[in-house]
Chain A
Amino acid sequence: AQKVTQAQTEISVVEKEDVTLDCVYETRDTTYYLFWYKQPPSGELVFLIRRNSFDEQNEISGRYSWNFQKSTSSFNFTITASQVVDSAVYFCALSEMTSGTYKYIFGTGTRLKVLA
């Protein structure tokens, strides 16, 4: 069965601090996809990144970086030098093929508060 765990319910940091959001997943499949989304107060989830199970290279995009480790089934997200605009709820998601279609499951989200 698929499962995505975001153990951190809420994190508060002071602006310019680095912060890491944890995501641990469970899957029996060898081919799957992992995603991170950001949900600002306006409500929509904004796609940040997709990673497929065969690509363990870490990725950096500006102040954002992602660490994918299959050995620990983790796909953690780090924001460097956090800013107030980073305040949002962040969701990790897993997608794998089930019965011929891809099933998408989200974690419960981590609320990040960046204080000025």
Chain B
Amino acid sequence: ETGVTQTPRHLVMGMTNKKSLKCEQHLGHNAMYWYKQSAKKPLELMFVYNFKEQTENNSVPSRFSPECPNSSHLFLHLHTLQPEDSALYLCASSFTPGQDLYGYTFGSGTRLTVV
């Protein structure tokens, strides 16, 4: 256990479904992140939240909608996804964005398959 918990671990959804990914941390971190990990591609930063405020959106399609109700919880709402959205979605947290002494703490990810 890393201290960052992601649910579900695996998700299969149709292109017309709506689902949500959840991330939770009780490490006292103020920044939370969503990353997408596709095969043979670098980790792609999707969203950054710092003190519950979204500070970065890396041109992510609107079919991905993040929500951060408090510094401990982060959601990624999914709707009308495409097969190319199939990937491992990783949540991470840190005290501050980008240069923490102990890096980011990652969850184990949600393996998403869009059919």
Contacts and interface: CB of A to CB of B under 8 A. Distances in A.
Interface of A: 4, 9, 33, 35, 37, 42-47, 50, 91, 95, 97, 101-109
A45 B104 contact: yes
Contact of B97 (A37, A101, A107): A101
Interface of B: 2, 4, 40-43, 45, 55-56, 88, 90, 92, 96-109, 111
B29 to A, nearest CB: 13
Binding site of A, secondary structure by majority: helix, strand, loop or mixed?
A: strand
B43 A91 contact: yes
Contacts of A35: 103
A42 B97 CA distance: 25
A108 B108 contact: no
Contacts of B105: 47
